[in-house]
A and B are shown apart, each in its own frame.
Chain A
Amino acid sequence: DAGITQSPRHKVTETGTPVTLRCHQTENHRYMYWYRQDPGHGLRLIHYSYGVKDTDKGEVSDGYSVSRSKTEDFLLTLESATSSQTSVYFCAISPTSGSSYNEQFFGPGTRLTVL
């Protein structure tokens, strides 16, 4: 398995509170991604990063911000959590060279519940 960990794995929080999810990789891959997975909507890209301090928006970025200060860590922040952000969040990484060029590898996911 690719070396990707996500923390926390489960979190319950209240509406209006800030939440930060962490993705950590040991593969030194350049690209990192945050997705959410919801029944009826599949997997949707929130934000991605193509290098340290280099990030861009995905399909469903409203209400989320990201930061990447080190190659190995990509943080997703819900600035003020809402019930519509209850979801399973996945981090993914991909290399930009070698035989697995552009292949995405996923972390185990974080289940977030906003009450």
Chain B
Amino acid sequence: KQEVTQIPAALSVPEGENLVLNCSFTDSAIYNLQWFRQDPGKGLTSLLLIQSSQREQTSGRLNASLDKSSGRSTLYIAASQPGDSATYLCAVYTNAGKSTFGDGTTLTVKP
């Protein structure tokens, strides 16, 4: 059974700092991996999708990497801003329709 772990569970940083969020998974036979952000009381917003054949994806200040062999993905956020405060979740898809989510990392960026 696929298990997804996100460490740390919570992170607090000062504005402007670069930071890395981690996502680990136990079964490397994945189709793709997706990073989301969730604001309190809201739905999930897709940030980046990495296909299994890719090693990284970039969108603005965000960069996500994928290392299937080691079962790891990282989400790098450059020059963090208070508006980046949210819970960040990763999800891995092992075949069509099957997904496993991590519990998320709650990020607080202090002005």
Contacts and interface: CB of A to CB of B under 8 A. Distances in A.
Contacts of B103: 42
Given A102-B49, A103-B49, A56 B43 contact: no
Contacts of B96: 31, 50, 102
A44 B46 CA distance: 17
B91 A33 contact: no
Interface string B25-66: 000000110101000001111100101000000000000000
Contacts, number: 51
B104 A100 contact: no
Contact of B43 (A44, A103, A106): A106
B43 A109 contact: yes
B76 interface: no
A67 B101 CA distance: 24
A38 B46 CA distance: 20
A43 to B, nearest CB: 4
A50 B34 CA distance: 19
B63 to A, nearest CB: 17
A106 B44 contact: yes
Given A42-B102, A42-B104, A45-B99, A101 B42 contact: no
A64 interface: no
Given A31-B97, A102-B31, A106-B46, 7 more contacts: A33-B99, A43-B89, A92-B44, A100-B49, A103-B49, A104-B46, A106-B43
